[in-house]
Amino acid sequence: MTEHSPADRRLPVVLVVLACGIALILAGQSLRTLGPAPVTPTPAPSVSSSAPSPQVETGEPGRDAAEEPVRLDERLYAVGELAATDCADPRVSRIDADGLAAFAEQAIDECLMPAWSPALERVGVHLQRPHHEVVSADSITTDCGEMSNANQVVAFYCTQDRTIYLFTSGTSTYAERAGWLPMAVLAHEFGHHVQNATDSWPITDDETTDRRIELQAECLAGVWFHDGQQAIDGFSRALVVGRYVSNDTHGSAAVRTAWFDRGFDRGDTDDCRSYTADTGEVG
């Protein structure tokens, strides 16, 4: 993953996924707890790269005023399993801007929204559909600022405009490996959308904050794949976790794999408590 200097925690969030190196067989990487006076940190971008050398992927419902405040991330954990869907083999059928756009639309409308939206409604959170945009240019200016593919950025999520952006140059690398593999990128970025919708951010801000946010998004991707894998012809967990390489922001490859597996093994959001995990579990 490309290194990112700590961002001003008051600035908009940009969450990115970096694609892996062509020389590797899928090395790379796909995006609060209870307590007083939470602060909302701004995560550093997570990314996914297509470089030839190893790269790293880098409104709360109303309640009775007499009730104790309930953190929305706790409601996220209470979701448990996702809803069953009619998701039908999401994959990139044509590796160009139009093909990627068609894939993203299908994956969001038929696979991700039908799974996450009813599940979040159970805990009183209304999930709006995220926007998505395929970017053929080398850079784009969003409500979260400018993002370029110069550092092998493949996809990113902007919290300010609730949009998942996919660069054609990098996303194509995944699609060339397996037509369904960009779903791993999209599921991770959608995990950031779920965090944004539930206001699920850590209440602390230290050197592990960004890593905890990214690992939770990876775990939420695993939650979707727990059942979603059944819709994918030729699915391979090894291809998903084979993207991971170690980096400071997202943790080691082993840790990323462990958090994906937490979600993947049981398909339960309660297993995605990266914000309160021991430091060694997010290394």
Q: What is the pLDDT of residue 70?
A: 41
Q: What is the pLDDT of residue 14?
A: 55
Rounded CA-CA distance 181/111 in Å is 14
For residue 88, give the amino acid letter: A
Q: What is the pLDDT of residue 248?
A: 79
Q: What is the pLDDT of residue 52?
A: 34
What lies within 8 Å, CB to CB, of 80 at 6+ separation is 119, 268, 269, 270
Per-residue pLDDT of the chain (283 residues), as tens digits, is 322 333 333 334 455 444 333 333 333 333 333 333 344 444 444 455 443 333 333 322 233 333 444 444 688 999 999 999 999 999 999 999 999 999 999 999 999 999 999 999 999 999 999 999 999 999 999 999 999 887 677 899 999 999 999 999 889 999 999 999 999 999 999 999 999 999 899 888 889 999 999 999 999 999 999 999 999 999 999 999 988 878 778 889 999 999 999 999 999 999 999 999 999 999 8
Query: Which residues on neighbouring strands pair with residue 157, listed in sequence order?
Result: 15, 164
Rounded CA-CA distance 8/41 in Å is 8
Question: How would you class 75 by CB atoms within 10 Å of its CB: exposed for 0-12, middle for 13-18, buried for 19 or more?
Answer: buried
Q: What is the pLDDT of residue 73?
A: 60
Contact criterion met (CB below 8 Å) for 55 and 152? yes
Q: What is the pLDDT of residue 15?
A: 58
Q: What is the pLDDT of residue 154?
A: 85
Query: Which residues on neighbouring strands pair with residue 17, listed in sequence order?
Result: 155
Rounded CA-CA distance 125/246 in Å is 34
